[in-house]
Amino acid sequence: MKYIIYYLIFASVFLNAQEYPEKPTQYVTDEAKVLSTEQERILNWRLKAFEDSTTNQIFVYTALSLNGRAIENVSQDIFHKWHIGQGKKNNGVLIAVFINDHKFRIHTGYGLEGALPDLLTKHIQDKEMRPFFIENKYYEGIDKGIEELMYYSRNEFSPSDIEESPIGLFIFFYAFASVFLLVTLLLNRKMKDRPTAKKVVLILSILFFLIPFIGAFLLLIMVFIALSLRKDLVNSGSSGTATWTSSGESSSWSTSDYSSSGSSDFGGGGGGDSGGGGSSSDW
C-alpha cells in the first residue's frame, strides 16, 4: 500500500511537470502554435537586432497549459535553464504566455529589474498586451509587449509615465465640492437670524467649490506642459546616432528584411539568471 501511495504521488508530480525544451532554438519558442511562421521570423529578427545593439536578450515562450503549476515557478525554471541574458549582466527578459490558462508573465533578470521594475511590467501587461490577448491576437500582444520592453530598457522609466489621467481626480473633487456647496446653501437658509455667520458660511462654501476646480485645472495644464517637455527631450535625444524611434523600433528596418532568410544567427542564452522579478497577469 505504501508503494502504491508513493507511485501515485510520483505520477501526479510527473504529469503536472511542465515540459519545455532544454534549450531554445530561437528567441521565440511557440509551442502553443499561435504564431505563423512569418510572425515568428519577424519577432526573431527583431529580437536579434535588439540584442546586437544592446546585449539585452528578450525570449518568448508560449504553451497551452501550466499543468497546474504556478506561472512564477515555471517562468523561473525556464529562465534558469535557458540562462537568458548575459552572464555578468543578467540582462534578460522572458515573456511567457499560457493560452488555455489565460495567464502570461514578464519575467526579468537581475540586471534589468531597475530599468524594468514590476510596476512597469505590470502596466505593460495590463494596458498594452491584454487588450490584444482578449481578442486572441497573440502576435499583436507579444509584439506590443516587446516594443515597450525595448523602449524602457533604453529610456529611464518614471512612475509619472504610467500615471492615470488627472481628469478622473478632477471630476471627483468637482463633484465633491458641488455636493458640499449644495449642503452649505441648505444650511445657510436656516441661519436667518445670524446674518454675519450666514455670509461667512456662504463665502467659505463658494471658496471650497472654486478651489478644487481651479486646482485641478492648473494641475491638468501642468501635466500637459510636462508631457510636452518630455516629448521634446526624447526627440532631441534620438536625433544623434541612435536609430530607434520613441516606440522602440528601429527606423532602418522594413518588412522585406525579415523575408530574406529564416536564420537570425541565434546564439542561445548568454548565461544570465533571474531572482524572480517581474509580474504576472491574465486575460
Q: Are residues 119 and 195 in the same domain?
A: no
Count of the separate structural domains present in the chain: 2
Q: Are residues 181 and 116 in the same domain?
A: no
Q: Are residues 189 and 152 in the same domain?
A: no
SS3 sequence of 56-74: CEEEEEEECCCCCCCHHHH
Indicate the residue among 124, 159, 194 that finishes a domain: 159
pLDDT at 140: 97
Q: Are residues 18 and 154 in the same domain?
A: yes
- 85 or 244: whose pLDDT is higher? 85
Does residue 277 fall inside a structural domain?
no
Give the model confidence (pLDDT) of 12-29 as tens digits. 444 445 577 888 999 999
Does residue 261 fall inside a structural domain?
no
Q: Are residues 74 and 190 in the same domain?
A: no
Does residue 143 fall inside a structural domain?
yes
In angstroms, rounded to a whole number, what is the distance separating the alpha carbons of residues 179 and 73? Answer: 50
Does residue 212 fall inside a structural domain?
yes
- 258 or 278: whose pLDDT is higher? 278
Q: Are residues 133 and 213 in the same domain?
A: no
Residue 11 pLDDT exceeds 70: no
Give the model confidence (pLDDT) of 28-85 as tens digits. 999 999 999 999 999 999 999 999 999 999 999 999 999 999 999 999 999 999 999 9
Does residue 144 fall inside a structural domain?
yes
pLDDT-derived band at 158 (thresholds 50, 70, 90) equals: confident
Q: Are residues 77 and 139 in the same domain?
A: yes
Residue 116 pLDDT exceeds 90: yes
Domain that includes residue 144, residue range: 14-159
Residue 138 pLDDT exceeds 90: yes
DSSP classification of residue 18? P
pLDDT at 180: 60
Residue 133 pLDDT exceeds 50: yes
User: Half-sphere exposure of residue 68, counting CA atoms within 13 Å on the CB side?
Assistant: 6
Q: Give the residue-averaged pLDDT of 180-200.
A: 64
C-alpha cell at 25: 532554438
Q: In the chain, pLDDT over 90 holds for what percent of residues?
A: 48
Strands (E), the chain: 28-30, 57-63, 92-98, 103-108, 277-282
pLDDT at 213: 57
Q: Give the residue-averaged pLDDT of 80-99.
A: 95
C-alpha cell at 54: 544592446
Q: Are residues 154 and 173 in the same domain?
A: no
**Residue at grid coordinates 531597475:** 114
Does residue 168 fall inside a structural domain?
yes
pLDDT at 182: 66
pLDDT at 8: 47
Q: Are residues 22 and 90 in the same domain?
A: yes
Surface-to-core class of residue 206, CB atoms within 10 Å of its CB (0-12 exposed, 13-18 middle, 19+ buried)? middle
Q: What is the pTM of this model?
A: 0.64
Q: Are residues 151 and 24 in the same domain?
A: yes
In angstroms, rounded to a whole number, what is the distance separating the alpha carbons of residues 151 and 4? Answer: 54
Does residue 176 fall inside a structural domain?
yes
Q: What is the CATH number of the domain that holds 144?
A: 3.10.310.50
Phi, psi of 206, deg, nearest 5: -70, -40
Q: Are residues 49 and 116 in the same domain?
A: yes
Tell me the C-alpha to C-alpha distance, in Å, between residue 94 and each of 258, 261, 279.
22, 24, 11
Contact indicator for 98, 281 with CB cutoff of 8 Å: no
Give the mean pLDDT of the chain: 77
Q: Are residues 127 and 36 in the same domain?
A: yes
Does residue 183 fall inside a structural domain?
yes
